Chains A and B, each alone.
Chain A
Amino acid sequence: DVKVTQSSRYLVKRTGEKVFLECVQDMDHENMFWYRQDPGLGLRLIYFSYDVKMKEKGDIPEGYSVSREKKERFSLILESASTNQTSMYLCASSPSRGMNTEAFFGQGTRLTVV
């Protein structure tokens, strides 16, 4: 089974802290994604990566950065956490076979910034 693992289920951080959310997948997928989930807004794409060291901005990249040094790992970084970044963060991966492949999701990290 494909497994996408996010390092934490729950995190509480203080305003201004630098926050790292880690995601690891074990299926050798080329593509990895970070989404943010908020009630009524669904999932919105923050950043994605289609190869090691490659990254592209999604729909809401402001206040975030990412790192992909190894194929299996994709990190989301909040440079200076703010309360409006309190949300559920979901990581996903998919193989590079075009549009017809579903993405596989991690269990999510619920981040609270106080």
Chain B
Amino acid sequence: AQKVTQAQTEISVVEKEDVTLDCVYETRDTTYYLFWYKQPPSGELVFLIRRNSFDEQNEISGRYSWNFQKSTSSFNFTITASQVVDSAVYFCALSEAYRAAGNKLTFGGGTRVLVKP
């Protein structure tokens, strides 16, 4: 069975601090995809990034960066120079192939980030 663990339930930082969110996953699949989603107070999940299991390159998008390490089954997310608008719940997720049609996502428990001015 697949499992995603986000050990940090809540992180509080002051604006401009960096914050790193941990994500550890378990799967027996050799091919899989990892995702990060952001859920602002409005409730709708917003897609941030997708990474496949064969691509271990780190990625940077503006103030966001991701560190994928297959050896430790981790896919960590860092927000650099945090801003108040970054306050949200962040979810890490793992996709599982189903009959080659579509995907089911297994989510971690989420990490609530609170950025104080």
Report which A residues bind B (CB closer than 8 A). Answer: 9, 30-31, 33, 35, 40-45, 48, 50, 56, 58, 88, 90, 92, 94-96, 98-108, 110
Q: How many residues of B contact A (CB 8 A)?
A: 33
B109 with A98: CB separation less than 8 A: no
The 9 closest A-B pairs by CB, nearest first: A31-B102, A42-B107, A105-B45, A108-B43, A43-B107, A42-B109, A102-B47, A107-B44, A99-B95
Residue of A nearest to B45 (CB): A105
Interface residue B63 (Cβ < 8 Å from any Cβ of A): no
* Residues of the B chain whose Cβ atoms lie less than 8 Å from the Cβ of A43: 91, 93, 105, 107
A100 with B33: CB separation less than 8 A: yes
B104 with A58: CB separation less than 8 A: yes
A72 to chain B: closest CB distance in Å?
Answer: 16
B91 with A50: CB separation less than 8 A: no
